[in-house]
Amino acid sequence: MEPIECVGILANKVIPGADRWARKAMSFLRERGAEVLLDPEMADWLDEEPSGRNLADLAARSQLVLVFGGDGTFLRSARALEACKVPLLGINMGSLGFLTVLRLADVTAALSAILAGDYRIEQRMLLEATLYRGEEPFERYTALNDAVMHTARGSRLVEFIISVGGQYLGNYRADGLIVATPTGSTAYSMSAGGPIIHPTMNALVATPICPHALAIRPIVVGGEEQIEVQIGDRSGRASISLDGMVEVLLQQGDEVRIRRADCTQPVLFPLGFGYYSLVREKLRWGGPELT
């Protein structure tokens, strides 16, 4: 891969030590001749000069953006930079880290290799959710992790009427329904009993949340399929959230059509990164080695 010469920095300002680690990375990069870019908010926080008017300026000039924080910070950064398609590398300062995969202890060694061109980039699927009221769409969103339709606060179960590619699949009442990308399969979907899907697969997974029927199970469909979810007449108040950030209220009769988005999110990884090693580490699979 081509050497990296220009790196943007984003960080979660509320995490203790995030400023110290961001400055450490900046010093390391500058010592090796790389240009470091900061948007005005980050520059003010780190007592540095800004590199442009806004995040779009930063992303347009960056070959890579480092994200210091947890998976939520990574998702917010991906959403803020969605139109720019700059690769992101997450440095884990959170609690889990399926998106922020680089450990703090490995930052300098990884950056040294990355600057020299020793890295790879994965194009992660985004989903597109289009909301219909009657025959007309009224909102359209993208998400890196998931679209979650669920009961609004203090309401009763929602009736979901589900089709795939126009073919009726079934209906049931539940607290919610998660439609996740492979990247998002290790997030809320996994917590609700959904399968883990390798993040480079072309697929979507629909996982019910506490369905009021024992036979209802998660289902994986091909990435070329569209999942159509209608809010039934036997529903309480419902809403849809995208990556846990954007939330929109839904009405009975509304339909949500979810498909693979036409665009992707590039994510950078050091050479030698292994997804299954990450799964084993984060989920603590396997016990102590036998001696």
pLDDT along the chain (291 residues), means of 10: 96 96 97 96 95 86 96 95 91 90 95 96 97 93 97 86 97 96 97 96 97 93 97 92 95 97 96 92 73 41
Residue 64 makes CB contacts below 8 A (sequence gap 6+) with 4, 6, 7, 8, 86, 87, 88, 89, 114, 268
Q: Please tell me the predicted confidence (pLDDT) of residue 288.
A: 57
Residue 291 lies in a domain: no
Residues 114 and 138 in one domain: no
- CATH number at 87 reads 3.40.50.10330
Counting residues of the chain whose pLDDT is more than 90, the rounded percentage is 84
Determine the pLDDT at residue 120.
96
pTM higher than the cut 0.85: yes
Q: Kindly name the residue from 47, 57, 71, 262 that is annotated as catalytic.
A: 71
Beta bridge partners of 129: 141, 258
Residues 130 and 201 in one domain: yes
- 136 and 258 both lie in a single domain: yes
Q: pLDDT tens across 18-35, in order? A: 999 999 999 999 999 999
Residue closest to 181 by CA, chosen among 157, 156, 199? 199
- 119 DSSP β-pair partners: 270
**Tally of structural domains, the chain:** 2
What DSSP assignment string belongs to 25-59?
A: HHHHHHHTT-EEE--HHHHHHTT---SSSSHHHHH
Residue-wise pLDDT for 187-197, tens only, equals: 999 999 999 99
Range of the domain at 156: 126-262
Do 174 and 276 sit in the same domain of this protein? Answer: no
The one-letter amino acid at 250: L
Rounded Cα distance between 48 and 46, Å, is 5
Q: Looking at the domain assignment, is residue 85 inside a domain? A: yes
Neighbour tally for 76: CB within 10 Å: 17
The reply to whether 71 belongs to the active site is: yes
Structure tokens at 252: 């009975």
Same-domain check for residues 252 and 134:
yes
Q: Are strands 119-133 and 64-69 parallel, antiparallel or unpaired?
A: unpaired
Task: Assess if residue 206 is contained within a domain.
Answer: yes
Q: Does residue 93 sit in the same domain as residue 164?
A: no
